[in-house]
């Protein structure tokens, strides 16, 4: 299946078209799923788990299901109460690990404080770990042979690839985030593309002195509470011609309109990293399914 967006550039008028690239990847996933289901007679299946009723998590997971189903991926969801014990959650993961109709498992983070996230993520079968967070998949990323990699960082480097920045030799990439979901996996994905990588975070002094050096600036601060808050990343904080990737939702970290005039390319919020995260998750589910049925 092809669509009219196939030929259009991903960076257009200084804006990285995350939705356009996401649609392209999702169409490719849908085509591959269709062919594999026709060949093997088994549909890929993603199972998500949320513990507690965080509205943000519920919204993101709903989007993941909708996109999966559109791509021909079956999905199931376990919404567990906030007071679910770690033991019960581990039992559920064990059951899903052993269910051969399930190809991908995603436990939405964060988890309630009484549950040890490391134990839960570590219990997921690496073959079904479509988040790429399990020890085996982190180890593969560390050595540069990743199979399933974290959706948001993977979406970011896929956008860079699509605008001709697949080799970042002599480029300085600055990440403002040190989380296990975004910043830490992104360090390795960028290093593996030969970037010089600097990581900044809430305890970094003089942030602009780093951001002004960035050829690629990835920001995931996420502290804006309203449209009226001052912008974190203003044009005076970036280098002329930089590529600026804004991971934060729903409000973004970047003064988009002002930065657009100075950057080579900047991602919009919404329509930038968010749709790419979904596309990379679907890619991971397809890859996990392919590995398990072959």
Note the residues at the interface with ligand GUN (CB under 6 A).
Answer: 106-109, 131, 151-152, 181
CB of 162 to ligand GUN, least distance (A): 20
Closest-approach residue to ligand GUN (CB): 109
Catalytic annotation, pick one of 17, 45, 108, 246: 108
Catalytic annotation on 64?
yes
Nearer to ligand GUN, 172 or 201 (CB): 201
Tell me the C-alpha to C-alpha distance, in Å, between residue 283 and each of 17, 68, 100, 154: 19, 10, 19, 10
Catalytic annotation, pick one of 64, 128, 239, 262: 64
CB of 131 to ligand GUN, least distance (A): 5
CB of 236 to ligand GUN, least distance (A): 30
271: left (phi over 0), alpha (psi -120 to 50) or beta: left
Nearer to ligand GUN, 155 or 268 (CB): 155
Catalytic annotation on 30?
no
Nearer to ligand GUN, 151 or 276 (CB): 151
Catalytic annotation on 246?
no
Catalytic annotation, pick one of 45, 128, 129, 131: 131
CB of 181 to ligand GUN, least distance (A): 5
Nearer to ligand GUN, 73 or 207 (CB): 73
CB of 171 to ligand GUN, least distance (A): 25
Separation CA 252–CA 267 (nearest Å): 10
Nearer to ligand GUN, 32 or 129 (CB): 129
- Residues annotated catalytic, as ranges: 64, 108, 131
């Amino acid at each position: 299946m092809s669509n009219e967006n196939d030929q259009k550039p991903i960076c257009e008028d200084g804006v990285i078209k995350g939705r356009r690239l996401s649609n392209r990847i999702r169409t490719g996933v849908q085509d591959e799923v269709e062919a594999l289901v026709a060949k093997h007679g088994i549909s890929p299946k993603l199972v998500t788990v949320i513990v507690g009723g965080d509205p943000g998590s519920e919204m993101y997971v709903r989007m993941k299901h909708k996109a999966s189903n559109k791509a021909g991926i079956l999905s199931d969801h376990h919404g567990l109460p906030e007071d679910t014990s770690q033991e019960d959650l581990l039992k559920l993961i064990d059951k899903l690990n052993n269910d051969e109709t399930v190809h991908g498992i995603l436990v939405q983070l964060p988890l309630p404080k009484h549950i040890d996230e490391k134990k839960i993520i570590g219990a997921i079968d690496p073959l079904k770990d479509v988040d790429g967070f399990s020890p085996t998949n982190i180890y593969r990323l560390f050595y540069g042979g990743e199979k399933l990699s974290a959706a948001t960082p993977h979406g970011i480097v896929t956008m860079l690839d699509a605008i001709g920045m697949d080799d970042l030799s002599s480029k300085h990439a600055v990440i403002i985030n040190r989380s296990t979901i975004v910043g830490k996996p992104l360090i390795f994905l960028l290093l593996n593309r030969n970037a010089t990588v600097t990581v900044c975070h809430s305890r970094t002094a003089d942030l602009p002195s780093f951001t002004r050096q960035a050829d690629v600036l990835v920001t995931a601060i996420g502290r804006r509470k309203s449209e009226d808050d001052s912008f974190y990343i203003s044009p005076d904080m970036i280098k002329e011609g930089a590529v600026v990737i804004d991971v934060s939702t729903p409000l973004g970290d970047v003064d988009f309109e002002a930065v657009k005039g100075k950057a080579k390319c900047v991602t919009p919020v919404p329509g930038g990293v968010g749709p790419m995260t979904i596309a990379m998750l679907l890619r991971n589910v397809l890859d996990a399914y392919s590995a398990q049925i072959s």
